[in-house]
A and B are shown apart, each in its own frame.
Chain A
Amino acid sequence: GIQVEQSPPDLILQEGANSTLRCNFSDSVNNLQWFHQNPWGQLINLFYIPSGTKQNGRLSATTVATERYSLLYISSSQTTDSGVYFCAVGGSYIPTFGRGTSLIVHP
């Protein structure tokens, strides 16, 4: 099956800093999504981005499908950005999730 690797596994930032999270995958995929799991466990879909670039406020994502990676950018981080960020890839019904990047933003 598809292998999904996320880096870094852990990230600690001061409020206001920028960061880049990376998701590498081992095979061609038709679909890729980024999710945020907050410290209370709630999962929120951030982006559906099989290719190209999308932006939503301080967050943006870029997927280069031909090179099998996706990047999630967080600018001017806030404490509410803390949590775990997952990417998930898949061609059909059964996506493969990465193990996530755990982000802590200190005030």
Chain B
Amino acid sequence: NAGVTQTPKFQVLKTGQSMTLQCAQDMNHNSMYWYRQDPGMGLRLIYYSASEGTTDKGEVPNGYNVSRLNKREFSLRLESAAPSQTSVYFCASSEAKGFNYGYTFGSGTRLTVV
């Protein structure tokens, strides 16, 4: 099925461990995004990639790095996980850059840092 695929769906890390969240889309979208969602909150943008080869910080980038590997793939890396990074992470893509195109979201990664 066409869409945005995130892996893994669930992950438990110990404080200080590192990991990479993977995201791939098969809709030939140009722009991709990483969001985090915390209980009772809306989504907050961590990083985005307006087009292949570019990445930019969002609202809450501290503690994260990203890589736009190619047009399809956009990964999010936690170098040294902290309990404050316990959250649900969503990857999204859109046809073109900017918030004037509808987003397609992945199914999310539930991350717990202990």
Contact = CB atoms under 8 A, between A and B. Distances in A.
Contacts of A48: 100-102
Interface residues on A, range: 20 to 34
B53 interface: no
Interface residues of B, number: 25
B99 A95 contact: yes
A5 to B, nearest CB: 11
Contact of B97 (A35, A41, A93, A95): A93
A50 B100 CA distance: 8
Contacts of B48: 93-94
B43 A97 contact: yes
A48 B100 CA distance: 7
Given A93-B50, A93-B97, A45 B42 contact: no
16 contacts: A30-B99, A33-B102, A43-B90, A43-B105, A43-B108, A45-B105, A48-B102, A86-B42, A93-B97, A93-B98, A93-B99, A94-B48, A95-B45, A95-B99, A97-B42, A99-B41
Interface of B: 40-45, 48, 50, 56, 58-59, 88, 90, 92, 97-105, 107-108
